[in-house]
Every structure is written in structure tokens, then in C-alpha cells.
Copies of this chain bind each other. A is one copy, B any other.
Amino acid sequence: MQEQSAQNRWELWTQRPLLALAVVFAVAYAVPIVDTSADHTLTTACTAVEWVVWGAFAADYVVRLALTSDRRRFVRTHWLDLCAVLLPLAQQLKLLRLVSTLLLVGRRARMASQIRMTTYVVGAVVGLLMFGSLAVLSVERESPDGNIRTLGDALWWSFTTMTTVGYGDHAPTTGLGRIIAVGLMLSGIALLGVVTANIAAWFIARFDKDDVEERAQTEAILALTQEVRALRAEVAALRDRPEGALPPGAPPRPAPHPSR
């Protein structure tokens, strides 16, 4: 129990710094993509910052693993975190670093119990839109027959994809760009589902307020309770009567209850 609590305290304590680091990562990821005229020094610095943020999340994973009591169970239930930590080591691909950092941030954000469902979904959608745009832009700009060449086009394309509108005036042409697009589409469907479900739940909750059967039950139970209370008063009256006090044929006592 002590270890569990230490883990919890660590997670609570590192939550805000890690989310701040995620913002730093976002800036370091965006700068070399948006500012194409950036010189080598800036690009190298940004890559270094990305690795530092990834390192912080990796260290967070190791510390949490050290603080937990049942380490085997922790690895089993957090296998996605482990993959996200190990993935960028396997290949020096920029995109993998992005995906794994997004995954780690998402896992930590979901852990924060004070963040409510709707906030989490909205945050995830905004994050996916932003990083999807940047990733597609960096991938498609290299392609000779690509048609997503400015940040504006990339953002516009992300919106038309996520809302499943899909005009087709801009569309990824490379394999990597299309894989990112599939991720955005699936997120869009999930977003649509969450919006619809939210509205539906609200509608149904309002419908249920007027539910007739439920009210009938509550009223039936209340009536029944009334009945039992009256019965108990009757028994109590019966018990307090001094036995043999009234001769046979004595006049009836005054009714202690209206509906005897």
C-alpha cells in the first residue's frame, strides 16, 4: 500500500511538468517544419529538445516502474507506454518520435482523474489536428507530386479529413502521409461518436426525467410505507392495552386511527 501511494504521489507531482514538457515538444516539433528557412543550428537544437522531452517521459516510466509494488503487472498493463518509450530508439525517424510522445502524453493525461472526459476528447482532437497537420506537411512537402505545401493547406486538409467532409482539393500522395491521414479519419469518426453520444445521453436523460413507470414505482413504495406505518401503530396500540381491563361487551374504544 505504501508503494502504491508513492507511485500515486509521483504521478500527481509530475503531471503538470510533463504536460508543460509536451507543449515544449510541440513547439520544438513545429518550428523546423513551419520555418523552412531555419538554419542547421536551430534544427539541431529542436531535435535535441525533442529527445530531451522523450527522455523525461522515459524517465517517468522508469520511476513509476521502480515505485510500483507489482512490477510484472505494471509492465503488462502499461505495455503501450513501454512500446512508446522504446520505439524511437529502434529507428531515428522523426515521425516515430512524434507518435510515441503523443502516446505517452495521452496516457498521462488520461491518468489525471481531474481532467473530465469532454476536456480529454477536445484536447486529443485539437492535438491530433495540430500534429497531424505538421506531420503531413513535413512528409508531403518532400513529395514531387504532393499538393500540401503550406501550413494553411495542411490545417485545412486536416479539418476536411477529421470531419469526414473530404473535398479532395488536397490529399496526401505518399505512403506515410496516408497513414497519418488514416489516423486522423479514425479520430474523426471517434470524435463524431463522442459528440453524438454526448447529445444523445443528454437527450435521453431529459426523456427519462419524465419516465412514468419509475414515478409510479416510487409512489407505490411510498403508499406501501404509509400502510406499514399505520399497521405498526395498530400493533403498538394493541400491545399497550392492559389485558383483561375491558370486560366482554364493553363499549368499543375510540378509534385510534381513521381507517380501521
Contact = CB atoms under 8 A, between A and B. Distances in A.
A231 B244 CA distance: 24
Contacts of A248: 242-245
A111 to B, nearest CB: 18
A164 B163 contact: yes
A201 B198 contact: no
Interface string A60-78: 0000000000000000000
Contacts of A185: 159-160, 163, 165
A161 interface: yes
Interface residues of A, number: 77
User: How many copies of the polypeptide does the oligomer hold?
Assistant: 4
Interface string A159-197: 111011111110100010010011001101111111111
Contact of A169 (B168, B194, B211): B168
A13 interface: no
6 contacts: A160-B185, A164-B165, A213-B218, A227-B232, A234-B236, A240-B252
